[in-house]
Amino acid sequence: MPGEEYIETYVPGEIHIGRLKHGDDLLAGILALCTEKNIQMGAVQAIGALSTAKVAYYHQNEKKYQEISLDGHYEIVSLIGNISLKDGVLLCHAHIVLGDETGNTQGGHLVRGCTVFACEVIITALKGKTLQRGYDEMTGLPLWNFKL
């Protein structure tokens, strides 16, 4: 088998479609919807616009995130991520691509600090064992724990 590939099988559950409120923090809003609907395993996607934006970049050699504040207003060109647990706490791991007024894009890891102008979100709950995240020595990241 090439590399270390682990896979679990899940069945799509309910699909929740919603809109975050103007002024909400994007990440906090997604987590609030998941908490409200008791989603502990899922997939998330969103489009919309932000009044303020912040992303993070992971420096692989240093094994740490650098947060980057972006000036101006941005369209959410794409947001894709997943929902699981880390130390028993709900976690949304998502990446976001943002477009500016000239059509240029920037992106990175979604962090708190993105203020919603308008946002439509789709969360697909997944049925199956809830994956827990734990520290991965090689990457320094909290990755899904798969029992080998």
What is the model's pTM?
0.93
Of 91, 23, 86, 27, nearest to 55 by C-alpha is 27
Distance CA 33, CA 119 (A): 13
Specify the range with the lowest mean pLDDT, choosing from 1-10, 84-93, 128-137: 1-10
Reported as a pLDDT band with limits 50, 70 and 90, residue 4 is low
Q: What is the CATH number of domain 13-144?
A: 3.30.1330.80
Distance CA 60, CA 128 (A): 31
The pLDDT tens digits for 129-139 are 888 999 999 99
* Domain extent listing, the chain: 13-144
pLDDT higher for 145 or 54?
54
